[in-house]
């Protein structure tokens, strides 16, 4: 488990790397793909997003931009998963750039398998890991501008706890670092009040100031979406049939 993209080892290519941004980018991506989006294409940079998406038919694209939790002017969407209804996204490609989550995905794009996980699709991600064991598995929190974030760590813990239970092994047998053991302890402490944890987290507080409590409640749901966002080409995620 790595708390932020800045922590991941350089010069190592893992078998599988999972980006986590519970509030809200990977929850939004999972929701868009579950609602029938053709793909999600991620960008660190807003200008690059605009440039690349110009080449896509306008009726087949949605452009989502978020900075500091707020929607960026001139984009179709911000980063609320609640906007990703099937009416809005079905058959379309979501071009998205967010403060931290899309940057985390870009930082792991050379892994052999790249997944996006959130609490909502935790059990589907665990099911994939059980079926496709990885020798080296990274779970990378998006954090906030280089610093630790509580909700991404709790999701990493939820994934590891689910994996340990499915494989019938102890968490310590799976954990590659102390962060992994700490993440599971955090999840076990908060698993019955994930909404409470998200509301207490610093980015949860930021979203509450932006009147986004409905998003927090949605993002705190565990195992509600059966969708596996998997990278098909660098920066492009699709839903793999599960
Ligand atoms: C991010 O990438 O930092 C976020 O997903 C922020 C947000 O929109 O809540």
For the Cβ of 162 lying below 6 angstroms from any atom of ligand 1, the answer is no
User: What pLDDT score does 241 carry?
Assistant: 80
User: What pLDDT score does 47 carry?
Assistant: 97
User: What pLDDT score does 242 carry?
Assistant: 79
User: What pLDDT score does 190 carry?
Assistant: 98
User: What pLDDT score does 76 carry?
Assistant: 96
Which atom of ligand 1 is least distant from the CA of 28? 5
The stretches in the chain having pLDDT less than 70 are none
pTM flag (> 0.80): yes
Is the omega angle on the peptide bond into residue 74 within 30 degrees of 0, that is, cis?
Answer: no
Q: How far is the CA of 72 from the centre of ligand 1 (A)?
A: 12
For the Cβ of 113 lying below 6 angstroms from any atom of ligand 1, the answer is no
For the Cβ of 69 lying below 6 angstroms from any atom of ligand 1, the answer is yes
For the Cβ of 25 lying below 6 angstroms from any atom of ligand 1, the answer is yes
| Contact between residue 39 and residue 89 where contact means Cβ atoms under 8 Å apart | no
How does DSSP assign the chain, residue by residue? -BSSGGGSPTT---SEEEEE-TTTHHHHHHHHHHTT-SEEEE-S-HHHHHHHHHTS-GGGEEEEEEETTEEPTTSSB-S-GGG--HHHHTT-EEEEE-SSHHHHHHHTTTSSEEEEE-STTHHHHHHHHHHS--SSEEEEE--BTTB--HHHHHHHHHHHHHHHHHHT--HHHH-SSHHHHHHHHHHHHHTT-HHHHHHHSHHHHHHHHTT-HHHHHHHT--S----EEEEEETTEEEEEP-
Long-range (24+ apart) CB contacts under 8 A made by 201-205 are: 201/23, 201/149, 201/150, 201/151, 202/144, 202/149, 202/150, 203/23, 203/69, 203/144, 203/149, 203/151, 204/23, 204/151
Shortest-distance Cα residue to atom 7 of ligand 1: 69
Could you report the per-residue pLDDT of 109-145, keeping only the tens digit for each? 999 999 999 999 999 999 999 999 999 999 999 999 9
Pocket test for ligand 1, best of 19, 40, 66 (most atoms within 8 A of CB): 66
Pocket test for ligand 1, best of 24, 64, 107, 214 (most atoms within 8 A of CB): 24
For the Cβ of 104 lying below 6 angstroms from any atom of ligand 1, the answer is no
Which atom of ligand 1 is least distant from the CA of 78? 8
For the Cβ of 28 lying below 6 angstroms from any atom of ligand 1, the answer is no
Which atom of ligand 1 is least distant from the CA of 80? 8
Q: Give helix 178-190 / helix 150-167 axis angle, nearest 10°.
A: 90
User: What pLDDT score does 95 carry?
Assistant: 98
Which atom of ligand 1 is least distant from the CA of 26? 5
For the Cβ of 79 lying below 6 angstroms from any atom of ligand 1, the answer is yes
End-to-end CA distance of the chain: 25
């Amino acid at each position: 488990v790595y708390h932020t993209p800045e922590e991941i080892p350089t010069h190592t290519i893992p078998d599988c790397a999972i980006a986590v941004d519970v509030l809200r980018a990977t929850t939004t991506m999972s929701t868009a793909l579950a609602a029938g989006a053709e793909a999600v294409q991620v960008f660190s940079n807003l200008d690059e997003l605009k440039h690349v998406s110009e080449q896509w038919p306008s009726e087949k694209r949605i452009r989502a931009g978020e900075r500091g939790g707020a929607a960026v002017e001139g984009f179709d969407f911000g980063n609320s998963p609640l906007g990703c209804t099937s009416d809005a996204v079905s058959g379309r490609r979501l071009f998205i750039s967010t403060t931290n989550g899309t940057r985390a995905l870009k930082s792991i794009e050379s892994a052999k398998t790249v997944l996006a996980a959130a609490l909502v699709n935790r059990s589907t991600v665990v099911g994939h890991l059980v079926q496709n064991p990885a020798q080296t598995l990274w779970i990378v929190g998006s954090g906030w501008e280089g610093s630790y974030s509580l909700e991404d760590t709790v999701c990493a813990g939820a994934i590891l706890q689910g994996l340990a239970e499915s494989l019938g092994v102890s968490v310590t047998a799976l954990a590659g670092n102390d962060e992994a053991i700490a993440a599971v302890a955090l999840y076990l402490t908060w698993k019955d009040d994930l909404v409470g944890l998200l509301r207490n987290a610093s980015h949860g507080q930021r979203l509450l100031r932006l009147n986004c409590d409905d998003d927090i409640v949605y993002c705190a749901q565990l195992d509600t979406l059966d969708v596996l966002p998997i990278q098909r080409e660098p920066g492009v995620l699709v839903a793999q049939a599960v």
